[in-house]
Amino acid sequence: MSSSTALKTFSLTNDILEISPQDEIYRFDAEYNRRINREAPWSSDPHYFKTCKISAISLIKMVIHARSGVPYEIMGLMQGKVVGNTLVIMDSFALPVQGTETRVNAANEANEYMVEYISGKDKACISLLEDAIGWYHSHPGYGCWLSGIDVNTQINNQKFQDPFVAVVIDPNRTISAGKVDIGAFRTYPENYTPPHVSPSEYQSIPLNKIEDFGVHANQYYQLEVEVFKSSLDNDLLALLWNKYWVNTLSQSPLVSNRAYAVSQLSDLQQKLAKASSSVASTRAVAPTLKDKEGNAKQKEKEEKKKEENQLAKSVKDSTKIAVEAQHGLIAQVIKDVIFSRRPNAGADAEAQRVSEVTEMAIG
């Protein structure tokens, strides 16, 4: 697999849109920027921002940074601008912060680094007119959402330097699924009750994180994420991909991500045990007075629904684990079929084997 093919695969997998470098999104309108920051329509409408657009270069920098920190969390800052009801991320840079497996906090050294980084670009005559517009950090292995600490951090950011967005990347799930697992979030103002919204797409949350996930789920909302690039970005991306094809052939997600796979299986076992214990403890409702029978039946239905939800979520998690493992095995088989030479096999036999494995992978 050449570097150009790998780059095209990455662009297709992550739905990266290519636009002209002369497009409006690349032009910095100083007057518009001053006007919209002065009017600040997001201060009166908690749902003002709907989309977060991220440049492909910035996305790759964030993913590489997130992957380098596994199993610990990392943190960085993003620079960009506001275009209508969209937050546009043009660039990003890492922060020298000390993270753990569950949290990351920016200390005074990180704040000093931010100032030096931005002022250093000015001294080096690198004209980047966009302001700091968000921060990103990683959740290695437990999905894209905001914890209690993340919510408090984002609330303070929106209070003192709005517009601001929080981006979360899961480097483990990115490697496992082959597509960048990313989410962009904005918090609601204090004492604001969000309207009832339909639940977002299901994502697997580890059992030890479910409580933190559920407690703060109504304090923020998720923005749609779009990735874009220009034809000029292709040259920069090609430089980043010069060595990528070697890693693609020499590495396997089944090996590089095996610690994450083990943690997934352990978490699934705990979820199944919890669901099993709740089902085993279910008993028939004792006879009650007639006026209480309706309430008893309703309660029984709710308990049954809760049990089914736990089992259904466990089934989804197990299916996800199996599919990702199968994809990893198929990738290894395809590489073996294509690149392993067998002296006794003729060209027609080799072609037939490649065709059979390819059909199996696609079907």
The mean pLDDT of 314-325, rounded to a whole number, is 80
- CA nearest 138: which of 87, 187, 92, 85? 92
CB 81 within 8 A of CB 130: yes
**pLDDT at residue 282 greater than cutoff 90:** no
Residue 99 lies in a domain: yes
Which range is most confident: 222-226, 262-266, 354-358?
Answer: 222-226
Residue 287 lies in a domain: no
What tokens appear for 326 in the block?
């199968």
pLDDT of residue 28: 80
| 328 and 186 in a common domain | no
Residue 259 lies in a domain: yes
Percent of the chain with pLDDT over 90: 5
Q: Which helix (H) or strand (E) holds 74?
A: none
What tokens appear for 81 in the block?
């601008």
Residue 348 lies in a domain: no
pLDDT of residue 314: 77
Residue type, 220: Y
- CA nearest 80: which of 54, 62, 61? 54
Give the residue, 53 or 203, on which the prediction is more confident: 53
User: Is 15 exposed, middle or buried, given 0-12, 13-18 or 19+ CB atoms closer than 10 A?
Assistant: exposed
The 3-state DSSP class for residue 293 equals helix
* DSSP letter (8 states) at residue 217: G
The mean pLDDT of 252-280, rounded to a whole number, is 75
CB 233 within 8 A of CB 57: yes
Give the residue, 147 or 17, on which the prediction is more confident: 147
Residue 58 lies in a domain: yes
pLDDT of residue 169: 92
Percent of the chain with pLDDT over 70: 63
pTM of the model: 0.67
CB atoms within 10 A of CB 37: 14
The mean pLDDT of 325-343, rounded to a whole number, is 73
Q: For the chain, how many structural domains are there in total?
A: 2
**Which residues neighbour 163 within 8 Å (Cβ) at sequence distance 6 or greater?**
37, 40, 42, 49, 82, 87, 133
Got the DSSP string for 162-205?
Answer: -S-EEEEE-HHHHHHHSS--EEEEEEPPTT--PPP---------
| 317 and 172 in a common domain | no
Residue 283 lies in a domain: no
| 256 and 224 in a common domain | no
Residue 134 lies in a domain: yes
**pLDDT at residue 276 greater than cutoff 90:** no
pLDDT tens digit sequence for 219-248: 888 899 998 887 777 776 776 666 565 666
| 148 and 267 in a common domain | no
**pLDDT at residue 304 greater than cutoff 60:** no
| 221 and 85 in a common domain | yes
| 320 and 213 in a common domain | no
| 107 and 59 in a common domain | yes
Give the residue, 273 or 212, on which the prediction is more confident: 273
Under the banding of pLDDT at 50, 70 and 90, the label for residue 287 is low
What tokens appear for 301 in the block?
């239905």
| 155 and 274 in a common domain | no
Which range is most confident: 7-11, 99-103, 116-120?
Answer: 7-11
Give the residue, 145 or 274, on which the prediction is more confident: 145
Rounded Cα distance between 329 and 362, Å, is: 13
| 81 and 181 in a common domain | yes
The 3-state DSSP class for residue 146 equals coil
- CA nearest 28: which of 76, 98, 90? 90
Residue 272 lies in a domain: yes
| 272 and 135 in a common domain | no
pLDDT of residue 301: 55
| 187 and 54 in a common domain | yes
**pLDDT at residue 283 greater than cutoff 60:** no
Neighbouring-strand partners of residue 19: 230
Check which CATH number belongs to the domain holding 175 and give it: 3.40.140.10
The full length of the chain comes to 363
140 phi/psi in degrees, rounded to 5 = -65, 100
| 224 and 82 in a common domain | yes
pLDDT of residue 229: 82
- CA nearest 77: which of 91, 66, 63? 91
Got the DSSP string for 90-108?
Answer: EEEEE----B-SS-B---H
Q: Which domain holds residue 61?
A: 20-191+204-230
pLDDT tens digit sequence for 165-220: 999 998 888 877 778 888 999 999 887 777 765 555 566 777 666 766 767 778 88
